[in-house]
């Protein structure tokens, strides 16, 4: 999951917040849903809450959430003193300040230029951006009923503020004058791209509409903002409300560390002596994998996959219907046939048809593999005399047994070598070898954090010793924290008013062990950890000059993070960081060989559950909303038409599909993980074929130069060609997943 929920200080894209939760294994993709109304202006734009423009009156910024950050490392957010009591007022004052900046730009009597229009837009909005750094933490990491009340209260005002910018005719006139003017040919390529992205952000978001159409567009955005917020909060409610409590006689099959963590989770909920299976993937997945209690597996499975689908106040089905209707109406005002056509127009895929073709080609192979996997599991169940027919809540359980029998590979054996702290140090090693970064943990209290378990590292350039930024890690699940794993940033790299350093974060939902005990994680969780760190490295390695260029193209932004997963089992990481929790010995080669031999085991399940969600996303956004009166029924009928095996379910069922319904970050774009997978598999082969393997200096140099550091300063297709010398080939993905390769 991972994405990246980020804000840019560029006024025209300030409200382009979208999560990238960015995790193909464990991320839920739920966003704060505060303001996705301009998500196409700068997809994945990063926070640039650095210094304020010099002409902003410091005296007006008495609210601590608006105040310029102070202290070392370029200034950092004051999480320890931030108060929800200040939030509403800070938002209102920040929006007022930002609109004043917009008015100054729009009313400038001088002819529009890059310097006095586009660059000023890049500078505008810093105080409000600082407020949203706190908003993002309260929304995703520390949610509470009090915050959600404010979220509901402010969503309409924030949306209206966004519309005041996108529908500012004088401002858009100046942006268009630069875009269409003679100066454009004299600008640098980076400046031209900033102009292009700025213009597109307006033109694609209603700037050309007039009269009733413009009013309706703004009203739709306001209502969507409310619906996205409600959707996300409904899911969070069901995650917090549906907890399965076990007694000691119901623990059969569960690993000791999971039992210990479940006991701790129950204790924090006032249920000493019991064991809590929380309604998050990090708790659900291991329980379904190891529990011998089939009736409890069914209960936990139902709790998890019914989030947002339980009827009553927190049910999301009616919300989905309205979201789809409003999105379709909105793009209709812009002249598009359907929402997906609008969304994919400036993506690598280009059209829904191209994205659909990629998914359908892989879907056929995935379904065939699922049938093989189910047959193997059913045979094992029959041999055990279990007298069952494999159901969705059995899949992980019997798959684990088949894996153990076929590859002599026990997930619990592997976990003994996957200590969370060691994995983090392994990630630092990879970052040092590929990017030249060094990490030094800051003493507790040197910078403020939002929770006692959050830790912070200074990141420096290995050669020069210069500060690159800070990296915050929030690793553990807790009440009020959304599930999944994601990356975020509070400040991006720019040079427009002096070079800024980066404030990047990674957020996970590992289950904390008992005090003093090492945290052991599954191999899937280890790869997810590396994946999300890839997003942080993408932010930390940025060398762009302008805030807007820290964004990205949705079906490209997962590529860099997915690629970093490939370093988990490289020799230096294995030998130095994947060491046994008791003996300290490195993971033996025989076990590594078994892991690699089983790499494509259960690939039908992994690919199928993801693709079912991605295909549903595209169908939702290419279908006339009038045909979708009941999302539950539409989901069921669509999956049946696609040939969905009855033994698996969508990774994210519609009522909790936060990627696409709690915001617009991944709407009509969930396919992007697979698009990025093609790039990942192809790029991995470049390293595999290099003399130095995954640490080959020449390939690593091209990786940083073309695929990480430029961010969105160049077209991603061209960037990939500069790295690889050609376009990526889909055959690499099929080879990587062990599927038949067809010419």
pLDDT tens digit sequence for 367-385: 999 999 999 999 999 999 9
Q: Which of 200, 179, 201 is nearest to 191 (CA)?
A: 179
Q: Angle 591-597-601 (CA atoms, 0-180°, nearest 5)?
A: 115
- How many residues are listed for the chain in this entry? 743
Residue 738 has pLDDT above 90, yes or no: no
CA 514 to chain centre: 29
**pLDDT, tens digit, for every residue of 216-234?**
999 999 999 999 999 999 9
409: confidence class by pLDDT, cuts 50, 70, 90 = confident
Q: Which of 391, 389, 362, 376 is nearest to 642 (CA)?
A: 362
Q: What pLDDT is stored for residue 4 in this prediction?
A: 33
Q: What is the average pLDDT across 235-261?
A: 95
**pLDDT, tens digit, for every residue of 513-527?**
888 889 999 999 999
Token pair of 653 as six digits: 């069922």
Q: How does strand 244-246 pair with strand 275-277?
A: antiparallel
| Per-position DSSP letters for 262-314, written without gaps between them | HHHHHHHTT-TTSEEE-SSHHHHHHHHHH---HHHHHHHHHHHHTTT-SSGGG
Q: What pLDDT is stored for residue 741 in this prediction?
A: 81
Q: What is the average pLDDT across 269-283?
A: 94
d(CA 454, CA 476): 9
Phi first, then psi: what are they for 209, rounded to 5°?
-80, 155
d(CA 369, CA 611): 13
d(CA 350, CA 345): 5
d(CA 271, CA 269): 6
Q: Which of 46, 21, 29, 62 is nearest to 502 (CA)?
A: 46
Other beta carbons within 10 Å of 253:
14
Q: What pLDDT is stored for residue 743 in this prediction?
A: 58
**pLDDT, tens digit, for every residue of 586-602?**
999 999 999 988 888 99
Q: What pLDDT is stored for residue 411 in this prediction?
A: 86
d(CA 151, CA 234): 13
End-to-end CA distance of the chain: 32
Q: What percent of the chain has pLDDT over 70?
A: 92
CATH 3.50.50.60 fits 420-552, yes or no: no
Token pair of 244 as six digits: 């399965």
**pLDDT, tens digit, for every residue of 426-482?**
999 999 999 999 999 999 999 999 999 999 999 999 999 999 999 999 999 998 998
Q: What pLDDT is stored for residue 484 in this prediction?
A: 86
More confident residue, 449 or 58: 449
Q: What is the average pLDDT value for the chain, to the nearest integer?
A: 90
More confident residue, 30 or 497: 497
Please report, for residues 151, 351, 522, 627, 722, the alpha-carbon distance to residue 587 in angstroms, rounded to integers and kept in the order given.
47, 45, 14, 54, 37
Identify the three-state secondary structure at position 470.
strand
638: confidence class by pLDDT, cuts 50, 70, 90 = very high
Domain segments of the chain as ranges: 4-235, 242-305, 420-552
Are 553 and 503 within 8 A, CB to CB?
Answer: no
Please report, for residues 430, 523, 665, 672, the alpha-carbon distance to residue 22 in angstroms, rounded to integers and kept in the order given.
20, 17, 11, 11
26: confidence class by pLDDT, cuts 50, 70, 90 = very low
Half-sphere exposure of 379 (CA within 13 A, CB side): 9
Strand order through the sheet with 437-441: 4-5, 486-491, 502-510, 467-476, 455-461, 437-441
Q: What is the average pLDDT across 162-189?
A: 96
Token pair of 26 as six digits: 């464990």
Q: What is the average pLDDT across 92-121?
A: 97
Residue 33 has pLDDT above 60, yes or no: no
Q: How does strand 467-476 pair with strand 502-510?
A: parallel
Q: Which of 391, 321, 372, 356 is nearest to 642 (CA)?
A: 356
d(CA 315, CA 495): 46
Residue 315 has pLDDT above 50, yes or no: yes
| Class for the domain spanning 4-235 | mainly alpha
d(CA 263, CA 259): 6
d(CA 254, CA 700): 41
Q: Which of 224, 207, 204 is nearest to 346 (CA)?
A: 204
Burial class (CB in 10 A: 0-12, 13-18, 19+), 491: buried
Phi first, then psi: what are they for 456, rounded to 5°?
-135, 140
């Amino acid at each position: 999951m991972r994405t990246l929920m980020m804000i840019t200080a560029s006024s025209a894209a300030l409200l382009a917040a979208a999560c990238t939760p960015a995790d193909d294994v464990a991320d839920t993709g739920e966003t704060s849903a505060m303001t996705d109304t301009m998500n196409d202006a700068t997809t994945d734009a990063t926070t640039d809450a650095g210094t304020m423009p010099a002409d902003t009156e410091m005296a007006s910024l008495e609210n601590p959430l608006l105040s310029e950050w102070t202290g070392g490392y370029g200034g950092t957010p004051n999480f320890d003193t931030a108060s929800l009591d200040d939030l509403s007022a800070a938002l209102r004052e920040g929006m007022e300040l930002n609109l004043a900046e917009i008015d100054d730009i729009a009313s400038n009597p001088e002819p529009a230029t890059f310097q006095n229009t586009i660059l000023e837009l890049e500078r505008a909005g810093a105080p409000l951006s600082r407020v949203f750094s706190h908003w993002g933490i309260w929304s995703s990491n520390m949610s509470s009923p009090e915050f959600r009340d404010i979220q509901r209260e402010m969503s309409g005002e924030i949306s209206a503020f966004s519309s005041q910018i996108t529908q500012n005719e004088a401002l858009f006139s100046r942006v268009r004058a630069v875009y269409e003017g003679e100066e454009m040919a004299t600008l640098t390529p980076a400046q031209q791209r900033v102009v292009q992205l700025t213009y597109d952000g307006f033109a694609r978001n209603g700037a050309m509409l007039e009269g009733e159409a413009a009013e309706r567009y703004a009203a739709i955005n306001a209502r969507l903002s409310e619906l996205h917020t409600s959707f996300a909060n409904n899911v969070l409610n069901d995650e917090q409300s549906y907890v399965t409590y076990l007694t000691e006689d119901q623990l059969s099959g569960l690993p000791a560390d999971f039992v210990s963590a479940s006991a701790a989770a129950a204790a924090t909920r006032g249920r000493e002596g019991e064991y809590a299976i929380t309604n998050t993937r990090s708790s659900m997945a291991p329980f379904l994998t190891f529990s011998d209690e089939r009736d409890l597996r069914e209960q936990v499975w139902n709790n998890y996959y019914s989030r947002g689908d339980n009827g009553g106040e927190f049910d999301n089905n009616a919300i989905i219907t309205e979201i789809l209707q409003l999105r379709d109406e909105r793009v209709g005002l812009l002249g598009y046939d359907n929402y997906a056509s609008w969304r994919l127009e400036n993506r690598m895929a280009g059209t829904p048809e191209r994205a659909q073709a990629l998914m359908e080609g892989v879907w056929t192979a995935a379904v065939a593999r699922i049938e093989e996997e189910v047959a193997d599991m059913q045979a094992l169940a029959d041999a055990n005399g279990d007298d069952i027919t494999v159901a969705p809540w059995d899949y992980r359980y019997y798959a684990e047994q088949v894996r153990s029998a076929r590859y002599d590979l026990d997930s619990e054996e592997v976990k003994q070598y996957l200590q969370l702290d060691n994995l983090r140090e392994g990630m630092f090693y990879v970052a040092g070898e590929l990017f030249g970064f060094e990490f030094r943990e800051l003493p507790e209290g040197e910078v403020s954090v939002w929770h006692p378990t959050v830790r912070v590292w200074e990141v420096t350039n290995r050669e020069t010793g210069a500060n690159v930024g800070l990296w915050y890690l929030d690793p553990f699940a807790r009440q009020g924290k959304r599930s999944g794993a994601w990356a975020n940033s509070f400040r991006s790299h720019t040079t427009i008013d002096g070079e800024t350093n980066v404030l990047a974060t990674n957020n996970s939902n590992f289950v904390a062990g008992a005090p003093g005990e090492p945290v052991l994680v599954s191999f899937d969780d280890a790869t997810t950890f590396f994946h999300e760190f890839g997003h942080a490295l993408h932010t930390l390695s940025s060398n762009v000059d302008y805030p807007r260029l820290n964004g990205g193209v949705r079906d490209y932004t997962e590529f860099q993070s997915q690629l970093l997963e490939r370093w988990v089992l490289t020799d230096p990481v294995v030998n130095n960081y994947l060491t046994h929790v008791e003996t300290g010995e490195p993971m033996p080669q025989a076990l590594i060989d078994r892991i690699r031999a089983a790499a494509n085991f259960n690939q039908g399940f992994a690919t199928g559950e993801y693709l079912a969600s991605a295909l549903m996303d595209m169908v939702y956004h290419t279908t006339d909303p009038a045909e979708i009166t009941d999302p539950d029924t539409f989901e069921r009928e669509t999956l049946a038409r696609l040939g969905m095996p009855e033994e698996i379910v969508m990774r994210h069922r519609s009522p909790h599909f936060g990627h696409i319904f709690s915001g617009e970050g991944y709407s009509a774009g969930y396919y992007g993980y697979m698009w990025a997978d093609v790039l990942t598999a192809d790029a991995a082969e470049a390293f595999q074929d290099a003399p130095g393997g995954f640490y080959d200096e020449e390939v690593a140099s091209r990786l940083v130069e073309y695929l990480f550091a430029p961010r969105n300063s160049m077209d991603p297709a061209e960037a990939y060609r500069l790295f690889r010398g050609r376009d990526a080939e889909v055959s690499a993905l099929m080879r990587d997943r062990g599927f038949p390769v067809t010419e």
